[in-house]
Amino acid sequence: AQKVTQAQTEISVVEKEDVTLDCVYETRDTTYYLFWYKQPPSGELVFLIRRNSFDEQNEISGRYSWNFQKSTSSFNFTITASQVVDSAVYFCALSEADNYGQNFVFGPGTRLSVLP
């Protein structure tokens, strides 16, 4: 069965610090998809990024960057120069291609607090 682990339950940083959120996954499939979502206090899950298992290129989008390493089954997320608006719960998620959507599994989430 697939599994997503986010070892950091809560992280607090001071504004302008860099912070990395860890995500480790388990799957037997060779084709799968990894996601990051942000959930601010309002409750809506906001899509941040999707990667497929064949694309290990790291990605940067503004202050956000993602490091995908199949060798360690990790898909870590870094926020550079954090801001108070980054405060939210961040979920890593995994979807296996062969299970027709039934195995879209979220990790437990990491609550990030960015203090002014």
Partner 1 sequence: DTEVTQTPKHLVMGMTNKKSLKCEQHMGHRAMYWYKQKAKKPPELMFVYSYEKLSINESVPSRFSPECPNSSLLNLHLHALQPEDSALYLCASSQEVQETQYFGPGTRLLVL
Q: What residues make contact with partner 1 under the rule CB under 8 A?
A: 33, 35, 37, 42-47, 50, 91, 95, 97, 100-102, 104, 106-109
Nearer to partner 1, 15 or 22 (CB): 22
Q: How far is the CB of 43 from partner 1 (least distance, A)?
A: 5
CB atoms within 10 A of CB 108: 13
Nearer to partner 1, 48 or 80 (CB): 48
Enumerate helices (H) and strands (E) in the chain, giving the number of each: 0, 12
Nearer to partner 1, 39 or 80 (CB): 39
Nearer to partner 1, 37 or 77 (CB): 37
Q: How far is the CB of 16 from partner 1 (least distance, A)?
A: 27
Q: How far is the CB of 52 from partner 1 (least distance, A)?
A: 10
Q: How far is the CB of 101 from partner 1 (least distance, A)?
A: 3
